[in-house]
Amino acid sequence: MEYVKGILSGVAAIFLAEFVPGPWSIFRGMSEQKATGLAAIAGGVLESLFSPLFWLLAILFFALFFRASRLQSNLLRAFLFWIPTLLVSTLGFSFVALCVYVFIRFRHH
C-alpha cells in the first residue's frame, strides 16, 4: 500500500505543479508561436516541464501529499491525502485523455 501512496502522491504532485501556476503558464507563448491547436498547448506543457518552478512545486506537493499519507488520523488522512490526490489525478488523466482523443479524432491525414 505504501507504493500506491507514493505513486499517487507523485502523479498528483506533477499534475498540480503543471496546472497550479495557472493557465498562463501553459498558454503563455501561444500568441508568439506559429503552431495552432494542441501543438501550441503541447509546446507550453513541454516548456513548463523544463522550468525550475515546475520542479520546485512538484517536490513541494509530493512532500506534502506523502506526509499526509502517513497521518495517524483516518479522517485527516482522508481529507488531506485521499480526496485531493484522487481528485487531482482523475482530473489530470481526464484532461490528458481528452487531449489524446481530440488529437486522434481531428488530426489531418
pLDDT tens profile 5-23: 999 999 999 999 888 775 5
Q: What is the model's pTM?
A: 0.75
pLDDT given at position 11: 94
pLDDT given at position 2: 86
Rounded Cα distance, 81 and 64, in Å: 9
Q: Calculate mean pLDDT across residues 66-94.
A: 94
**Residue scoring higher pLDDT (27 or 7):** 7
Question: In which region does residue 51 sit, left (phi positive, over 0), alpha (psi from -120 to 50) or beta (all else)?
Answer: beta
Would you say the C-alpha torsion 35, 37, 38, 41 has a positive or negative sign? positive
Question: In which region does residue 105 sit, left (phi positive, over 0), alpha (psi from -120 to 50) or beta (all else)?
Answer: alpha
- Give the Cα-Cα-Cα angle 54, 65, 67 (nearest 5 degrees): 125
**Residue scoring higher pLDDT (43 or 27):** 43
